[in-house]
Amino acid sequence: MSKYSIFFVTLLLVASMQQQIKSQQNVKEVINSVSIDSLWKYVGQLSGESEVKVNGETHIITSRYYTHEDNEIAGSWIKNKFQSFGLNTTENYINKNFNGFLSGKGKNIIAVKTGSSTPRNIYLLSAHYDSVPSTGDSPGADDNATGVATVLEAARVLSKLNTNNTIIFAALDEEEPEAGLYGSKYFVFHFKDSKASGDTLLGVINMDMIGYDGNKDNAIDLHTQSIANSVDLANKIVEINKTNNIGLTVGVVNPGSKNVDTQSFWEGNYSAVTMLEDTDDFNPNYHKSSDRISSLNKSYFEKAAKLVIASIASFALPLISGTSIKTNIPVDYSLMQNFPNPFNPSTRINFSIAQTSQVRISIYNILGQEVTELVNEEKVSGNYVINWRAYNHSSGIYFCRIVASSNVGNFIKSIKMILLK
């Protein structure tokens, strides 16, 4: 090999090492951005410890059993959370007569963060949001509010980044009834259509009960099968735990449980793993009305969530150079003109909050009638973006109005938007 060849090979090796270091720095930044306060709050709201607001009404979610009306409220609340992060969000209804699926009410809540350079390459982060028992309170704090809370926190953190690959955040319904796994089966069935158009599902990380650690040994399992690249996926997550000193003792279970949503993906020949508590230290409140947040280990849950979010970020890497999840704290409130405008059928709306405020953003028609509510929750200071998907509305002039209330007063502003179909 000539000295020039050696020189260029050295340059390539140095560039590769620099890229690896940059990617690792980005993953650490993601880990540091995961908030246990947000995670804990989400679990409390999903398990009925605190109220949620949906369409301007206050609710306490007492049960997420698949036929209970509160499960529908939970799905709507999850959808609103995804939308508040600026993600394109849809409801995937599970039809009563579709391949024997159980309920006409069930719906998967799907949010998409599109990759910037390889958008057809997809990673899925999922957890089921329905719970049992069927009678009385069914809080399901561990099973599976912990998993859904982690999906929401991942969406909050990663929505601020540009990634090469697409990430789908999914809250799946109807996992519990008779271990039917209906929501995941329905997702796999419908993914075939997008697969035909060129989409590739590279991997699935599913979570099902990741908050109980009775003996405080920080042990957690990754359930996998020797299908597609599932084992390799599990081994990479084990390595991410070590590399980033997250502090869990991760075991790989192969063959993994068939009673979790990854079974649907394995049957579809997709690479998939489920993170699940150590089966030798299983939550004694499983499928009981006593499955409440008070029985969970906060530190353990935080570590599990950080590992999942670090893993999905690593798989969506490399992050585009120079991106950062940190944004400048705004000094004032604002509501920017939507873009595009005119639009059809969706448009982006940017707004800034100067300090923690109760924020409500609604859309009104030309008659001054409210047609939809986009945001109604407390927001910390920061810059935000939301999407209004106006599929069910007719062409015309609409107004977007923000009311942000804090201890220093109210910020109120409206913008005019034009929907042209």
pLDDT digit string (tens) for 315-343? Answer: 886 443 333 333 345 667 889 999 899 99
| β pairing state of 272-277 and 200-207 | parallel
How far from 283 is each of 58, 141, 147, 217, 248, CA to CA, in Å? 31, 11, 14, 14, 17
Average pLDDT for 220-246: 94
Domain ranges in the chain are: 16-316, 334-419
Q: Is the pLDDT of residue 232 over 70?
A: yes
Contact yes or no for 364/401 (Cβ under 8 A): yes
DSSP, collapsed to helix, strand or coil, labels residue 222 as: strand
- Give the model's pLDDT for residue 13: 39
Of the CATH numbers 3.90.1310.10, 3.40.630.10, 3.20.20.70, 3.10.100.10, which one belongs to the domain with range 16-316? 3.40.630.10
How far is C-alpha 207 from the geometric centre of its chain's CA atoms?
11
Widest Cα–Cα separation across the chain: 77
Which of 89, 117, 125, 34 has its CA nearest to residue 318? 117
Q: Is the pLDDT of residue 16 over 80?
A: no
Q: How many CB atoms lie within 10 A of CB 5?
A: 9
- Give the model's pLDDT for residue 189: 84
Which of 192, 199, 206, 187 has its CA nearest to residue 312? 206
DSSP codes joined into one string, 229-276: THHHHHHHHHHHHHHTT---EEEEESS--SSSTHHHHHHTT--EEEEE
pLDDT band at residue 193 using 50, 70 and 90 as cut-offs: low
pLDDT band at residue 27 using 50, 70 and 90 as cut-offs: confident
Of the CATH numbers 1.10.8.60, 3.90.1150.10, 3.40.50.1820, 2.60.40.2550, which one belongs to the domain with range 334-419? 2.60.40.2550
Reading the block at residue 238, the tokens are 């084990």
Q: How many CB atoms lie within 10 A of CB 330?
A: 16
What is the C-alpha separation between 110 and 119, in angstroms, rounded?
16
Across 288-299, b (16+ Cβ under 10 Å) vs e yields bbebbbeebbee
Among 28-42, 139-153, 180-194, 338-352, name the most confident range: 139-153
What is the C-alpha separation between 201 and 204, in angstroms, rounded?
8
More confident residue, 95 or 41: 41
pLDDT digits (tens, 9 = 90+) for 391-401: 889 999 999 99
Share of the chain above pLDDT 90, in %: 64
How far from 50 is each of 45, 61, 276, 379, CA to CA, in Å? 5, 8, 25, 17
What is the C-alpha separation between 406 and 421, in angstroms, rounded?
38
- Give the model's pLDDT for residue 95: 61
pLDDT band at residue 380 using 50, 70 and 90 as cut-offs: confident
What is the C-alpha separation between 115 and 234, in angstroms, rounded?
23
Average pLDDT for 358-365: 95
Reading the block at residue 420, the tokens are 């042209």
Average pLDDT for 73-80: 96
Among 65-79, 172-186, 339-353, name the most confident range: 65-79
